[in-house]
Amino acid sequence: MTDAQELHEAAPSPLGSRRAGVLLHVTSLPGGDLGRSAYEFVDWLADAGASVWQLLPLVPVHEDEASPYNSLSAMAGNPLLISAELRREHGLGTLAELSAEQRSQHDAWCEQQAAWLEPYAEFTVLRELHDRAPWTTWEPGLRDREPAAVAEALAPHADRLDAVRLDQWVFDEQWRALTTYAAERGVLTFGDLPIFVAPDSADVWADRAMFRLDAEGRPTTVTGVPPDYFAADGQRWNNPHYDWEAMAADDFGWWRRRIARQRELFDLVRIDHFRGFEAAWHVPVDAPTARDGAWVEGPGHEVLAALVETAGEGTLVAEDLGVITPAVDELRTSAGLPGMKVLQFAFDGGRGNPYLPRFHGEDSVVYTGTHDNDTTLGWWSELDRNARRRVRRHLPAGEPMPWALVHLALTSTARLAVVPAQDLLSLGSEARMNTPGTATGNWGWRAEPGSFTPDLAARLRSVVEETDRLPGD
Known active-site residue 372? yes
Known active-site residue 233? no
- Point out the catalytic residue in the list 207, 372, 374, 423: 372
Q: What is the predicted pLDDT for the residue at 471?
A: 87
Lowest mean pLDDT among 9-23, 139-153, 268-282, 299-313: 9-23
SS (H, E, C) the chain: CCHHHHHHHHCCCCCCCCEEEEECCHHHCCCCCCCHHHHHHHHHHHHHCCCEEECCCCCCECCCCCCCCCECCCCCCCHHHCCHHHHHHCCCCCHHHCCHHHHHHHHHHHHHCHHHHHHHHHHHHHHHHCCCCCHHHCCHHHHCCCHHHHHHHHHHHHHHHHHHHHHHHHHHHHHHHHHHHHHHCCCEEEEEEECCCCCCCHHHHHCHHHECECCCCCECEEEEECCCCCCCCCEEEEEECECHHHHHHCCCHHHHHHHHHHHHHCCEEEEECHHHHCEEEEEECCCCCHHHCEEEECCCHHHHHHHHHHHCCCCEEECCCCCCCHHHHHHHHHCCCCEEEEHHHCCCCCCCCCCCHHHCCCCEEEECCCCCCCCHHHHHHHCCHHHHHHHHCCCCCCCCCCHHHHHHHHHCCCCEEEEEHHHHCCCCHHHCCCCCCCCCCCCCCCCCCCCCCHHHHHHHHHHHHHCCCCCCC
Q: What is the predicted pLDDT for the residue at 424?
A: 98
pLDDT at residue 5 tops 80: no
Q: 473 falls in which pLDDT band (50, 70, 90)?
A: low
Average pLDDT across the chain, whole number: 94
- Point out the catalytic residue in the list 272, 278, 320, 374: 272
Q: 3 falls in which pLDDT band (50, 70, 90)?
A: very low
Known active-site residue 423? no
- Point out the catalytic residue in the list 319, 320, 374, 423: 319
pLDDT tens readout for residues 140-184:
999 999 999 999 999 999 999 999 999 999 999 999 999 999 999
Q: Is this model's pTM higher than 0.75 or not? A: yes
pLDDT tens readout for residues 375-413:
999 999 999 999 999 999 999 888 999 999 999 999 999
pLDDT tens readout for residues 317-330:
999 998 899 999 99
